Amino acid sequence: MYDLLPHNSLETVALVAGASGGLGGEIAKELSKVGFHVALHCQNNPAAAETLAGTIEHGRVFIADVSSAESVKRMIEGVEQWKGRLDLIVNSAGVTHEALIVKTTVADFDNVINTNLKGAFNLIKFGAALMKKGSGGQIINISSYTAFKGSSGLAAYAASKAALSGLSLSAARELAGDCIRVNVVLPGFMLTRMGLESSVQARKTAVSENLLCRYGNPHSVARFIAQLAENKDITGQVFNLDGRPL
Ligand SMILES: NC(=O)c1ccc[n+]([C@@H]2O[C@H](COP(=O)([O-])OP(=O)(O)OC[C@H]3O[C@@H](n4cnc5c(N)ncnc54)[C@H](OP(=O)(O)O)[C@@H]3O)[C@@H](O)[C@H]2O)c1
């Protein structure tokens, strides 16, 4: 089987979940530059997504809570009504909660798992169903170094991202027959809203453990994702873009 549609066809459609965020916004801009029409997803920050939509050629804002299956289903239906197809999902929606396990409430734990893991499940479930109506596509989930190494004070986040790898690698196996690739990208520690809300200690540790002694760069992650989006031969892979070796 072969995907006959060129990646940069003007009709090629990407959904960036978390486009209102620091990393998602950069990814949306890069995908627009390489020719995708981009569905810009946000939750509580539609103003950021609307501003972004004003700067790219073919973009539309969609609002959804990724932790809600009903909300994600409605968003995917909205994308289908908008363009009739979906070729790429980049899932950059996520939350963290910095606290020791004994100080993490069950509600805090659930919120992180429901957003980072169940959210990814919802996007794969409803997004893949629309991709199957076309000629396949790709799903790229954003995970973290923490998923592989753990981190004191980030147990809920690390657990959600570790499970995201299992979900993504299983989805790669299930969906390959439908020409849907599923890959995982691990950015380094970035000074986005999430990074800036981290403790000073967490930031210092991230830089000191980085062999290049610096923060991750959302633009370089976005460039990598735009290149991965073009590649029809890669699936079931985890790409570490963090200067901290796994
Ligand atoms: N920053 C880092 O150092 C770092 C490192 C490794 C991996 N990551 C991962 O990279 C991804 C992007 O993070 P970022 O750094 O860009 O953080 P960010 O600027 O805080 O953006 C987070 C995004 O997630 C969305 N979001 C949060 N909860 C949601 C929900 N329930 N439903 C729908 N959308 C929701 C936010 O939407 P609204 O603002 O519209 O509510 C926002 O667009 C996350 O998966 C994060 O775990 C980040």
Domain ranges of the chain: 13-231
pLDDT (tens, 9 = 90+) of the chain, 246 residues, equals 334 444 444 589 999 999 999 999 999 999 999 999 999 999 999 999 999 999 999 999 999 999 999 999 999 999 999 999 999 999 999 999 999 999 999 999 999 999 999 999 999 999 999 999 999 999 999 999 999 999 999 999 999 999 999 999 999 999 999 999 999 999 999 999 999 999 999 999 999 999 999 999 999 999 999 999 999 999 999 999 999 999
| Ligand 1 atom nearest to 46, measured from its CA | 40
Name the architecture of domain 13-231: 3-Layer(aba) Sandwich (3.40)
Q: Is the pTM of this model over 0.85?
A: yes
| Ligand 1 atom nearest to 190, measured from its CA | 3
Q: Is 87 left (phi over 0), alpha (psi -120 to 50) or beta?
A: alpha
The residues facing 137 across adjacent strands are 180
Q: How far is the CA of 177 from the centre of ligand 1 (A)?
A: 30
All residues at 6 or more sequence positions from 26 whose CB lies less than 8 Å from its CB, including other chains: 218, 219, 221, 222
Task: Give how far Cα 138 sits from Cα of 5, 10, 46, 154, 244, Å.
Answer: 13, 17, 25, 29, 26
The candidate with the shortest Cα–Cα distance to 234, out of 147, 140, 125, is 140
One-letter amino acid at 183 equals N
Query: What pLDDT does residue 11 have?
Result: 84
Q: How far is the CA of 30 from the centre of ligand 1 (A)?
A: 17
Q: Is 221 left (phi over 0), alpha (psi -120 to 50) or beta?
A: alpha
Q: Which of 20, 96, 221 to mutate to test the pocket of ligand 1 (most atoms within 8 A of CB)?
A: 20
Q: Is 215 a catalytic residue?
A: no
The residues facing 42 across adjacent strands are 63
All residues at 6 or more sequence positions from 93 whose CB lies less than 8 Å from its CB, including other chains: 17, 18, 21, 24, 41, 43, 66, 115, 119
Is the distance from CB of 190 to CB of 216 less than 8 angstroms? yes
